[in-house]
Amino acid sequence: MARPKPAVFDKQKIVAENRRARFDYAVESTYEAGLALTGTEVKSLRFGEGSIAESYADIQDGAVWLINANIPEFSHGNRFNHEAKRPRKLLLHEREINKLHGAVAREGMTLVPLTVYFNARGRAKVEIALAKGRKAHDKREHIKEREWKKEAGRLLRERG
């Protein structure tokens, strides 16, 4: 019997975060994916190095790939070191891949990585979001809405 997936993923140690993603994109749903890494990449991530600021995910030949993510070379990696910006395979179930592929193909959505982290079992994971790009006016509306929520919270604290 399969366990239900948690609404919030178990993030023990966050390595990299794409903070602009939630501002630039309207996030529809999030998925947790494993990362296929080499040994030196894992060591680099454990040292807290890595960036997903300008990266994205793409579906090619029935597999999901993390493209343009920067995991710098490991300092003691010698000849077995990895390439810093190589495409890395994301590990997802086939039905999840099919669902993502359908949304990207039909509805014009994109796959954006939100965070890279290690879970409780020590596995490197990526939280990817199925998102729709925001236009400039949508971003302004988002800022207004966020500011109003802050102000409303302040007013409630003062009066209550």
Calpha distance 78→70 (Å, rounded): 19
Supply the pLDDT for residue 2.
62
Supply the pLDDT for residue 156.
87
> For each of the chain's 160 residues, which pLDDT tens digit applies?
565 666 677 778 888 888 888 888 888 888 999 998 888 888 888 888 888 888 888 898 889 999 988 888 877 767 777 777 888 899 999 999 999 888 888 887 889 999 999 888 888 899 999 888 877 777 788 888 888 988 888 888 888 6
pTM for this structure? 0.76
